[in-house]
Each structure stands twice: as structure tokens, then as C-alpha cells.
């Protein structure tokens, strides 16, 4: 089994998403899971996404 599949299964379980109950799932829960899946697909290069990495680090000073 690959790491991505295990990660997504864990994420679904954490969100209490189960195939037989998707129709009753809260829309925000589904949005969070779909966002996770899409981010992983972008990270793998399978979908286009933001060009810049999603990093909140402060840029390095150019003063040296």
C-alpha cells in the first residue's frame, strides 16, 4: 500500500468520513477532505496549482 493512500485513509477517518455515510456528511468536512486530496495531487505534479510553495517563512534578507 502506498503512503498517500494510507495518509488519505487516516485523514478520512480523522474527519469521520466513511463511504456509506458521504451523503450525510457536513459540507465543510467534505471541503476539508477534498482540499487535502487536491493539495496532495498538486504536490505530486498531477494537477496544476499555485506556482509558489505554500510557505509562511520570512524571506531572507538581501543585506549581506
With both helix axes pointing from N to C terminus, report the angle between 3-14 and 27-43 in degrees, rounded to the nearest 10.
Answer: 160
pLDDT at res. 21: 93
Is the pLDDT score of 57 beyond 80? no
Q: How far is CA 7 from CA 3, 14, 21, 40, 56, in A?
A: 6, 10, 20, 10, 23
Which position has the grid cell 455515510?
Answer: 21
- What's 23's DSSP letter? G
Tens-digit pLDDT profile for residues 12-41:
999 999 999 999 999 999 999 999 999 999
pTM (2 decimals)? Answer: 0.72
- What's 22's DSSP letter? G
What is the band of 55 on the pLDDT scale with cuts at 50, 70, 90? Answer: low
Amino acid at each position: 500500500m502506498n503512503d498517500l493512500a494510507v495518509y488519505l485513509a487516516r485523514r478520512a477517518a480523522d474527519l469521520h468520513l466513511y463511504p456509506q455515510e458521504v451523503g450525510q456528511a457536513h459540507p465543510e468536512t467534505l471541503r476539508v477532505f477534498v482540499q487535502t486530496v487536491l493539495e496532495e495531487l498538486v504536490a505530486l505534479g498531477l494537477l496544476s496549482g499555485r506556482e509558489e510553495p505554500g510557505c509562511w517563512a520570512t524571506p531572507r534578507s538581501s543585506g549581506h
